[in-house]
Chain A
Amino acid sequence: MAILAKHLLGIETMAPEEIFSILDLAESYVTLNRDQVKHSNVLAGMTQINMFFENSTRTQASFELAGKRLGADVMNMAVAKSSIAKGETLIDTALTLNAMRPDLIVVRHPSSGAVNLLAEKVNCSVVNAGDGRHEHPTQALLDALTIRRAKGRLTRLTIAICGDISHSRVARSNILLLGKLGNRIRLVGPRTLMPFGIDEFGVEVFDDLRKGINAADVVMMLRLQTERMEGAFVPSVREYYHLYGLDAEKLKFAKADAIVMHPGPMNRGVEIDGALADDIGRSVIQDQVEMGVAVRMAVLDLLARNLRRAVLEAGRSRK
């Protein structure tokens, strides 16, 4: 099994077998990454361009490290500050880049669907590193790997995703992935941060955090963006923390062995209590970061295999 498509644009179109093949391969990269010599040559000679139209530290670093550990030539383009500012359209940027003959492009963009648009215009493989409020597939994959390692399985779990669902691509990719694998998904947050029609996604929706995480195996907290804190979507930080901030007292409603996740970066004292985030008995937030590199290595590896196979097949047909 492998990734069937040329690109990794979202979880929506992926089959469970593809997801498992990524997670299984990622396991081996977890082992590699824990070695002193963290190097493989599966991407040797290949060029990977990280194109981030939106500021990112963590995801970009994770993809950069993943590519470098696999031996690719990795280039970071901080597009937010360059050509876009000069008025170039997304498609022109894509064509320019395509002419430089990269093999893998990792893209983050503030508009939903922008990565799909770019993927149509280039010859290489495209990895979606987050587009608008649409999808963030590698985050969902790394979350899945973290859950599987902590819980021993990735099905029949009760998973509460809490906070700003409306603006979250992490939430959407996680709902899709965890839903495909037969988990019970609950969404918890104020109605103002809950998209209309979300209950048709096969999830349960809760206004109340305690009820929403009741007997949950996994509690996944989402980041509340600063610009949403003061009155527009929720009245204030203190009311949000009072009602939706996860602390040890509220976590008692979840299962005794429930794990706490957060995609980062955290707002301590907004969506999560600082002490709880640091509690290594409950919080797997640092594990998520570690799994992130391994999952991204697996994704890049599998997409590169597709590229090599395509080259072989093209050569064979030429003979």
Chain B
Amino acid sequence: MIILANAMIVDPESESVNPGSVIVENGRIADRDGPELESLRYKTVNCGGKFLAPGIVDIGVKVCEPGERHKESYRSAGLAAAAGGVTTMVTRPDTIPAIDNPETLEFVSKRARAASPVRIKTIAALTKNRSGRQMTEIGLLQDAGAVAFSDCDSVVEDTKIFSRCLQYAKQRDALVIGHPQDPGLSAGASATSGKFASLKGIPAVSRRAELIGLQRDVELAALTGARYHADQLSTSLSIEYFERAAAAGLYVSAGASIHHLTLNEFDIGDYRTFFKVKPPLRSEDDRKALVEAVASGSVEVISSMHTPQDEEAKRLPFEEAASGAVALETLLPAALRLFHSGDITLPRLFRALSLNPSKLLGFDTGRISKGAPADFVLFDPDAPFVLDRFGLRSKSQNTPFDGQLLQGRILKTFVDGEPVYGSGA
């Protein structure tokens, strides 16, 4: 039994930040602010007045096992997650081969359990080999532990097949995570079309391609009654449409990636490939709309969309370079930019980082309440540092924040009440 004492507790459920302490028993939260804490002989961890929040639940982390372990393994990703305050990684199936059958899923889960200090949950592929032709064994994959189904950035182009997948998922009450994007328009694009992309001569895609993809997906969700989550919204157009659909009572939810919340298309600058992500970075107006949607709660989830790429995949001309950025360790410091700028309060930030993703996937994590798992991140939101990408724990260090000033340091991370990062880990 331990007490995390003298902390500023960030509680996303009651939307409050208050000084207090938490008692942990058998890996779960036994109580908050017990009456005579001092008199009890608990092992005490003094939080030094720093901020204690529920550990981050990150939906859509790519760990490159099986297939590309040189880019990221469960061990390296798990260490990076712990260092970033991420206590549950919800991993993507866009591996080589894809996680599209219960045997692969079971193998991967076994490796993950042995190697990672943080929790790992798995998203399985929606169609075999993510090729959009045959649905996967959704029922057997659920039995093997899959928490959601997604083909990641590979859009199921055939609407009939996608609607059958949604129908089948509906009857299993499975969550389908889509990547709202029109695959034809966005093929080959590496930036958002507009003056900047034209000036640089980068093949680009209209922001409407995301809206077209989203409208299709949401209408099919309406047709089938399935639970649908859009992995990332990134434009004001799709946010407006999405808010109307959600208000109409559909079982839809949406997320935002940390990069689209904190960066814009101009950051690409002089063809910097670490800023090449999917969907491409948007205008500043779109970024602001996204921040507003996260603050209001209509876009429910913030995730890292952690996508490791090795040096070879990024050291290429912009349009040939691979997409994606690592973000497990920078997720919270980058997200705190939104707090420091006054756009989002800390409880609302952790609602999007921890509570909402847990609720979406039916986990009991993400909250600081009696009985919940004792997964926490202890952080100092004010401590500044300059990020050195070579200090990252990920095997790949393709971060757009290299050399940037960030404000907010993770001091300790706990999973099941046990320290997995910081002193004592």
Q: Is the CB of B137 within 8 A of A236?
A: yes
Bound complex: CA of A190 vs CA of B134, how far in Å?
A: 15
Instruction: Say whether B133 contacts A231, CB under 8 Å.
Output: yes
Could you tell me the distance between the alpha carbons of A112 and B134 in the complex, rounded to whole angstroms? Answer: 27
- Secondary structure at the A interface, as helix, strand, loop or mixed, is loop
Q: Is there an interface contact between B137 and A238, defined as CB atoms closer than 8 Å?
A: yes
B186 touches A (CB below 8 Å) = no
Complex CA–CA separation, A183 to B22 (angstroms): 60
Q: Which residues of B contact A239 (CB under 8 A)?
A: 137-140
Contacts of A236 in B (CB 8 A): 137
Chain B residues within 8 Å of A243, by CB? 139
Chain B hits for A191, CB < 8 A: 167-168, 170-171, 224
Q: Which residues of A contact B (CB under 8 A)?
A: 190-192, 207, 230-236, 238-239, 242-243
Dominant SS at the B interface?
Answer: helix
Nearest-neighbour CB distance to chain A for B55, whole angstroms, equals 34
B135 on the A face (CB < 8 A): yes
B window 112-155: CB within 8 A of A? 127-128, 133-140
Closest to A233 in B: B164
Check if B170 sits within 8 Å of A235, measured CB to CB: no
Q: Evaluate contact between B171 and A207: CB separation under 8 angstroms.
A: yes
Q: Does B361 sit within 8 A of A, measured CB to CB?
A: no
B224 and A235 contacting across the interface, CB-CB below 8 Å: no
**Do B128 and A231 touch across chains, with their CB atoms under 8 A apart?**
yes
Contact of A192 with B164 in the complex, beta carbons under 8 Å: yes
Which of A231, A233, A235, A239 is packed against the most chain B CB atoms within 10 Å?
A235
19 residue pairs bridging A and B, Cβ less than 8 Å apart:
A190-B167, A190-B168, A191-B171, A191-B224, A230-B134, A231-B133, A231-B134, A231-B135, A232-B134, A232-B161, A235-B134, A235-B135, A235-B138, A235-B139, A236-B137, A239-B137, A239-B139, A239-B140, A242-B139
Rounded to whole angstroms, the CA-CA distance of A234 and B140 in the bound complex is: 12
B223 nearest in chain A by CB position: A196
Interface size counted on chain B using CB atoms at 8 A: 18
How many whole Å from B128's CB to the nearest CB in chain A? Answer: 6
Q: CA A239 – CA B169 in complex, angstroms?
A: 13
Shortest A185–chain B CB gap in Å is: 19
Q: Which of B135, B138, B172, B224 has the most CB of A within 10 A?
A: B135
CB distance from A227 to the nearest CB of B (A): 12
How many angstroms from the CA of A207 to the CA of B167 in the assembled complex?
11
- Among A207, A231, A234, find the residue whose CB has the most chain B CB atoms closer than 10 A: A231
Residues of A within 8 A of B161 (CB): 232
State which of A230, A232, A238, A242 has its C-beta within 8 Å of the C-beta of B164: A232
Residues of A within 8 A of B139 (CB): 235, 239, 242-243
Contacts of A231 in B (CB 8 A): 127-128, 133-135
- Identify the 6 closest CB pairs spanning chains A and B, nearest first: A231-B134, A207-B171, A191-B167, A235-B137, A239-B137, A191-B171
- A243 to B128 alpha-carbon distance, docked (Å): 19
Residues from chain A with a CB closer than 8 A to the CB of B171 are 190-191, 207
Bound Cα distance from A238 to B136, whole angstroms: 12
Cα distance A236–B134 when bound, in Å?
9
When distances are taken between beta carbons in the complex, the residues of chain A under 8 Å from B224 are 191
Report the Cα distance A242→B171, complex, angstroms: 15
Nearest neighbor of B128 in chain A, beta-carbon distance: A231
CA distance A242 to B143 in the complex (A): 11
**What CA separation (Å) do A238 and B138 show in the bound complex?**
12
